[in-house]
Amino acid sequence: MNPFTAGGWGTSSGNPPSIFGALPSVPVSSSAPRSIQADSVQYKLTNFNTTVLNCTVVGPQNHVVYRVVTNSGAPSSTMWKDNESRNVGMVTWQPNATLEVRGVASRQRVRDWLRLSSDQSKRIMQIGGVQYAWSPIEGFICLYKLQSTAPRVLARIARLQSSILLDMTPEAMQLGLLEPCVVATVIFTCGHNID
């Protein structure tokens, strides 16, 4: 099951289906949407080599900060590497998708790390003892603290014509959410079944 088709996330009348099959169907923009806030940091997943599972993640000033590399051998696995070629995260896709994220998540099933809520309206991710939720909001996939009285968007994912944009607030960066968000963005947009 595609992580964002649960609860109708993958469908929207009048809009073409997502090119990656996982983001909500929103109009594809040729330019980046406005940032969440003036001081947020944007990361672009680009240079796809057939899929987002082989791409480059560029940050401010177009510096490469991560590379996503997929080994198609058996078992198929995807690795996230920082700009010094250190492994940041890894997903082994078969027989059941499992992942590890350096300093964040020990080896576990992807469906447990990005758990679907009981009402199927969001994916819940736990980082450092805090629960965060990914939900569709106004055409984006947005991250916020789950147990907050007034949730604020900390990060969001948008789809452009030839790339995917991850917009991170300074608060999200200070909370150490960059690497988990980069990993989650790829998982959400790759089209693999995680359930």
Residue 139's domain comprises: 6-156+178-189
Single-letter residue type at 116: L
In a domain, 172, yes or no: no
Over pLDDT 70: what percentage of the chain?
81
In a domain, 124, yes or no: yes
In a domain, 165, yes or no: no
Global pTM exceeds 0.85? no
Q: Which residues contact 112 (CB under 8 A, 6 or more apart)?
A: none
Cα dist. 73→49, 78, 92, 163 in Å? 16, 11, 11, 26
Q: What is the pLDDT of residue 133?
A: 96
Q: What is the pLDDT of residue 109?
A: 96
In a domain, 104, yes or no: yes
What does the pLDDT look like over 105-117, one tens digit per residue? 999 999 999 999 9
In a domain, 170, yes or no: no
In a domain, 194, yes or no: no
What does the pLDDT look like over 151-190, one tens digit per residue? 899 999 998 888 999 999 999 999 999 999 999 999 999 8
Say how many domains are in the chain. 1
C-alpha span between 186 and 57 (Å, rounded): 10
Residue 19 pLDDT class (50, 70, 90 cuts): very low
**Full 3-state SS string of 83-97:** CCCCEEEEEECCCCC
Q: Which residues contact 156 (CB under 8 A, 6 or more apart)?
A: 36, 137, 140, 141, 142, 143, 166, 167
Q: What is the pLDDT of residue 29?
A: 54
Mean pLDDT of the chain: 83
C-alpha span between 130 and 142 (Å, rounded): 16
What does the pLDDT look like over 89-143, one tens digit per residue? 999 998 889 999 999 999 999 999 999 999 999 999 999 999 999 999 888 999 9
Q: What is the pLDDT of residue 191?
A: 84
Q: What is the pLDDT of residue 15?
A: 37
Contact by Cβ (8 Å): 59, 65: yes
C-alpha span between 120 and 6 (Å, rounded): 6
What does the pLDDT look like over 42-83, one tens digit per residue? 999 999 887 899 999 999 999 999 999 998 776 689 999 999
In a domain, 77, yes or no: yes
User: Backbone phi, then psi, for 184, in 5-degree steps?
Assistant: -60, -40
Residue 180: closest CA among 161, 162, 158, 154: 154
User: Would you say residue 6 has pLDDT above 90?
Assistant: no
